[in-house]
Structure 1
Amino acid sequence: MTRRDIFTDVAAILYPIPQPEPGEEHDDGFLAARDEAAEDQERTAENLRIAWDAGDQDPLIGALAAARLAKEEAEQRIRELIAYGREFVQPRPYTLGDLAAAAGMSISGVRTAYSHRDVAQVANVTRAKPREWRAPDPEDGQATA
């Protein structure tokens, strides 16, 4: 039985080597993507080994934590993009249906996906002014029943 190497296994999960479809020709783009993934795997496995040897990080736990952080950052970007589409685009906001389809959410999920903090963040980075008709921030104690 062959002993598995957690470093190369985790690197392979993070950077899978593209596999051609049956009967598909290997063009230069496919070959370049395959070579890049192989290089990414080697570099990542080595970095995971170095971190482990230095006592800094378990390779699997570190990869999971990094994936969770990337997911949280992507979710924040989605909230900000939805807020932008609903609160900043003039003369009319994007429809809830269009945003829901693009975000893989329900219409009601899009309606409640972002907060006043997300709107403030979008205003800060874009220097744009949100539409005036936004509902009061429930955290300000001004929500209506």
Structure 2
Amino acid sequence: MSRRDIFTDVAAILHPLPQPTEAAEEDYDGFLEWRRQAAEEQRDTAESLRLSWEEGDQDPLLGALSSARRAKEEAEQQIRELLAYGREFVQPRPYTLGDLAAAAGMSISGVRTAYGHRDVAQVADATGAKPRQWRAPDPDDSEATA
């Protein structure tokens, strides 16, 4: 029985090879190029993980998990900011909670509570746009006045 290699296994999880589909059959050359690129990404990632391990920097699986967690946190922040933009900046009417919920894979009440004043401020900083009048009190303001 051959021993599994954690470096190539983690790389295969991070960069899975595309599987044939009907669309791939229609553009076979494009599909082969896509597979070639994914295989190259797997090799490069496996080598990078191996080097990092050998230099004592990072366990390949734990490092990949940490990176995935950071990417998830960044995606969640982007979602909060996009929701804030859709509700607080789009004029003359904001996007509906239902439309945003469907696009974000959330419930309407989840969208309503997904973002806060900090997210709105970050969108304003990033875009230079001014948010509409917001009725919800800023929790930081109530702490400052208490």
TM-score category (smaller protein): over 0.9
Letter in 2 for 1:136: P
Letter in 1 for 2:31: F
**Residue number in structure 2 paired with 1:64:** 65
Q: Is the 8 A contact 1:87 1:134 kept in 2?
A: no
Shift in Å, 1:28: 2.2
Where structure 1 has 5 or more consecutive residues not aligned to the other structure, the ranges are: none
| Percent identical | 75
Q: Is the 8 A contact 1:48 1:59 kept in 2?
A: yes
Q: Is the 8 A contact 2:24 2:31 kept in 1?
A: no
Where structure 2 has 5 or more consecutive residues not aligned to the other structure, the ranges are: none
**Residue number in structure 2 paired with 1:93:** 94
Query: Do residues 123 (structure 1) and 124 (structure 2) align?
Result: yes
The structure where helix makes up a greater share of residues is 2
Distance in 1 between the 2:18 and 2:114 partners?
34
Distance in 2 between the 1:140 and 1:98 partners?
31
Distance in 2 between the 1:134 and 1:29 partners?
52
**Residue number in structure 2 paired with 1:2:** 2
**Residue number in structure 2 paired with 1:16:** 16
Shift in Å, 1:140: 1.9
TM superposition score normalised by structure 2: 0.93
Deviations 1:89-144 (A, max 9, x none): 000000000000000000000000001000000000000000013311123218xx
Runs ≥4 residues deviating over 2 A: 21-24
Deviations 1:31-88 (A, max 9, x none): 1110110000000000000000000000000000000000000000000000000000
**Residue number in structure 2 paired with 1:35:** 36
Letter in 1 for 2:51: I
